[in-house]
Amino acid sequence: MTIHSRKPKQIHAILCFGIEKAATPEEIEQFTTGLLEIEYIHNSLELDGVFDFMSEAVFPNVAAYHDTMRDLERQGIIRTCEASLVCKEFVQEETDEALWIKDGHEDGTQVRIGLHEIEKIVAEGDYMRIFAEGREWLYHCTLAHLSEQLGSRVIRLNRSTLVRSDFITRIRHVRDKWEAHLKDGSTCRISRPHVKDVIDHTSSTEDVDSSKNLIARPQFSNFAR
């Protein structure tokens, strides 16, 4: 095992919420349920102190952060909110940079897949379908865990797909939708929140004006009733 620090690839934030005293139990329940339904929020905790709830969120870009905060504010029961950015992560990784996956044999034989060999990962429920050098395996894991383990080797195209950056051959903008063409001949949809990140991590694009894809630095502030 090795422990090292690194800067997050995306906007990793800790959000603390104070709820209006007049909020009804039904409104609070609706608020907490809504938090867990937001794509970018990974988990939430109820607190007993200055704040009532704390959430950990990972946003692909500044626009996604602001859109999410505006949606939460519209619920009308948030008294105050404070956001702190994660500037450094301390992670523990296996020194052997590989995955060991069951090869489907009854004797439990496992195959070693080097992290550098992985080309594409597609989420299928509780399993991840891993593609590497013409073969594929099902691996019981979460997409978030594999994304952390693979680090800068991969980039997210949408909620259920990761690909190695150099596995993308072309990006196209077709009828208001973005798609990535991959080396295996397949085409994969790029969801809107991840478009800029994909463009930034690929060396060549088609029908892209980079000047239109710039985003401002995040501005975090409390919003009070």
Structural domains in the chain, sorted by start:
2-89 (3.30.70.920), 98-211 (2.40.50.1020)
Q: How far is CA 225 from CA 18, 19, 34, 79, 141, in A?
A: 11, 10, 20, 5, 42
Residue 118's pLDDT is: 94
Q: Which two tokens stand for residue 181?
A: 């063409």
Per-residue pLDDT, averaged over 137-148, amounts to 91
Helix (H) / strand (E) element for 195: namely helix 195-201
Beta bridge partners of 118: 132
Helix (H) / strand (E) element for 201: namely helix 195-201
Task: Find tokens 């995955």 and name the residue.
Answer: 99
Q: What is the 3-state secondary structure (H, E, C) of 131-146?
A: EECCEEEEEECCHHHH
Q: Quote the percentage of the chain above a pLDDT of 70.
A: 83
Instruction: Give yes or no for residue 199 having a pLDDT over 50.
Output: yes
Instruction: Give yes or no for residue 189 having a pLDDT over 90.
Output: yes
Per-residue pLDDT, averaged over 96-117, amounts to 80
Is pTM beyond 0.75? Reply is no
Banded pLDDT at 178 (limits 50, 70, 90): very high
Residues 84, 160: Cα–Cα separation, whole Å: 27
Tell me the per-residue pLDDT of 19-47, one tens digit each, with 9 for 90 and over. Answer: 999 999 999 998 888 888 898 998 889 99
- Alpha helices by DSSP H, listed for 18-98, are 25-37, 62-73
Instruction: Give yes or no for residue 92 having a pLDDT over 70.
Output: no
DSSP class per residue in 128-189: EEEEETTEEEEEES-HHHHHHHHGGGEEEEETTEEEEGGGEEEEEEETTEEEEEETTS-EEE
Residue 222's pLDDT is: 42
Q: Which two tokens stand for residue 79?
A: 């008294």
